[in-house]
Amino acid sequence: MEYKHTEVPAELGGQGIASYLVKYILDDAAAKNLRVKPTCSYVKSYIDKHPEYQDNSVFHNATP
């Protein structure tokens, strides 16, 4: 599953919505046993900061 872009409207920024969205999609992918390819810099940064998602990321774990 590739995540290319994450965006929240400017007027909703700073409320944790993007973080909630990314957590939701990563949890959903994990529940479905899907590997994620975080080409979106925000998603990759989120995974960098939350090691519990790194095993499921093709950029953080070399095992296909």
Is residue 61 in some structural domain?
no
| pLDDT per residue as tens, the chain (64 positions) | 888 998 899 999 999 999 999 999 999 999 999 999 999 999 999 999 999 999 888 877 655 4
Alpha-helical regions (H) of the chain: 17-31, 41-49
Is residue 23 in some structural domain?
yes
Is residue 30 in some structural domain?
yes
pTM for the complete prediction? 0.84
Identify the CATH number of the domain in which residue 24 sits: 3.40.630.30
Is residue 17 in some structural domain?
yes
User: How many other CB atoms are found less than 10 A from the CB of residue 32?
Assistant: 8
d(CA 47, CA 39) in angstroms, rounded, equals: 11
Is residue 13 in some structural domain?
yes
Is residue 48 in some structural domain?
yes
The total domain count for the chain is 1
For residue 33, the enclosing domain spans 2-56
